[in-house]
Amino acid sequence: MKSVIGWGFIGAGGITKRVMNDFKELSDAKLVAVFSRTEANAVQLALPYGAKAYTDCEAMIRNPEVDAIYVATPHHLHMEHACLALELGKPVLCEKPFAPNAAQVRKMVEKARETGTYLMEAMWTRFFPVTRKVMQWVSDGAIGDVHYLTADFGFSAAENPQSRLFNPDMAGGSLLDVGVYAVSYASMVFGSKPIEVLSRSRSTSTGVDARMACLLEYENGQMASLFSSISTSTPQEVRIIGTKGHIEVPRFWSPREARLIIGDRLEDTIKDERIGEGFGYEFTAVHEDLRAGRKENALITLDESISVAETLDTLRAQWGLVYPFEG
């Protein structure tokens, strides 16, 4: 792998602009190409970085200067775009949710394994120093045996049927947009898939979940209580509760701080004084994997991405939420 890795971005929307603010600070990577359906969007993103703008996705991926692909289109397009890049032998970092359902995630993983090409879900939460410290506290037994986890991720958006958040054709709804962070966090802490899932949701007028709450039970009796919403602002916090103490992680999905509390005493704190949102951490993880010749990332394995997608499927099945493209 080259010393400076050339990236091609598929999509030039909201997330790519936020990512670029952090990505441009990385010394070992550069943006070399951008694909969008809309030429002006591709040009607007590419121009300041001297990258090439494309309206032909395959031509962009085939550009020999493109060493890796970042898929940042709406959820329902992730599989198509990721598989195209994998078929052409380009490593892929694909936005969360990896795909709208487990069947699509499995196809992506099969394609990566069949072509021997790197693939990773852009579950950026895993790569923050705060998250790594939280997982160290948990595995060191700092809070004893973990019995319970709570996570909420809600924000309030005006209902707009055209927006990908509300549009069923684009796999809209709170679960896939933000609930995935909570389900993935519980998967990370408990290290497995729940054996029991209980849930309720409330629908938008467009027929996707405006909000949902669920209780997940794990093999040895551990439990997680999760809430997601696109119609309610919430604290966006994780609490991990054990027999000796608990951990609080404000804004857990891109954390700047976590607190370890034993009894009612603050035992330890970790802070991340970073500048920027922190997207650089996940890109750096991909760079390390590519340089080491790894085909997936150890902190968010492909099997775990499948397992999380299966839990998301179970939840939607309980509410009868089937997207039009799922037939």
Ligand X SMILES: NC(=O)c1ccc[n+]([C@@H]2O[C@H](COP(=O)([O-])OP(=O)(O)OC[C@H]3O[C@@H](n4cnc5c(N)ncnc54)[C@H](OP(=O)(O)O)[C@@H]3O)[C@@H](O)[C@H]2O)c1
**Separation of alpha carbons 297 and 85, rounded Å:** 18
One character per residue 24-43, x = contact with ligand X (rule: CB under 6 A): ------------xxx--x--
Is 157 near ligand X (CB under 6 A)?
no
Taking CB under 6 A as the rule, which mask of x and - marks residues 221-260 in contact with ligand X? ----------------------------------------
**What is d(CA 161, CA 165) in angstroms, rounded to the nearest whole number?**
8
12 or 92: CB nearest ligand X: 12
Instruction: Give the binding range for ligand X (CB under 6 A) out of 5-13, 189-197, 237-245, 260-268.
Output: 5-13
Binding residue for ligand X (CB under 6 A) from 14, 48, 141, 235?
A: 14
With respect to ligand X, which residue has the nearer C-beta, 133 or 164?
164
- Strands ordered across the beta sheet of 245-249: 196-203, 209-217, 223-229, 146-154, 238-242, 245-249, 257-262, 265-271
Beta bridge partners of residue 213, listed in sequence order: 200, 227
Q: Based on the shown chain and the rule CB under 6 A, indicate whether residue 81 belongs to the binding site for ligand X.
A: no
Figure out which of the listed residues 54, 70, 98, 124 binds ligand X, where binding follows CB under 6 A.
124
For the CB of residue 41, give the shortest distance to ligand X in the complex, in Å.
4
Q: Candidates 5, 72, 130, 247: give the one binding ligand X (CB under 6 A).
A: 72
Q: What residue has token string 């939840």?
A: 315
Query: Which tokens go with 327?
Result: 């037939």
Taking CB atoms, the residue at the shortest distance from ligand X is 13
Task: State how far Cα 248 lies from the chain centre.
Answer: 21
User: In 83-107, which positions are buried (b, 16+ CB within 10 angstroms) versus exposed (e)?
Assistant: bbbbeeebbbbbbbbbbbbbebbbe
Stretch that binds ligand X, among 9-17, 189-197, 227-235, 294-302 (CB under 6 A): 9-17
Residue 121 pairs in a beta bridge with: 94
Q: Which is nearer to ligand X, 14 or 235 (CB)?
A: 14
Nearer to ligand X, 103 or 262 (CB): 103
Burial (CB < 10 A; 0-12, 13-18, 19+), residue 225, is middle
Q: Applying CB under 6 A, which of residues 1, 6, 15, 215 lies at the interface with ligand X?
A: 15
Tokens coding 90: 């380009």
Among 22, 67, 121, 177, binds ligand X (CB under 6 A): 177
Burial tier of 24 (Cβ tally within 10 Å: 0-12, 13-18, 19+): middle
- Told to check if 126 binds ligand X by CB under 6 A, we report no
Give the interface with ligand X as residue ranges (CB under 6 A).
Answer: 11-15, 36-38, 41, 72-75, 77, 95-96, 122, 124, 164, 177
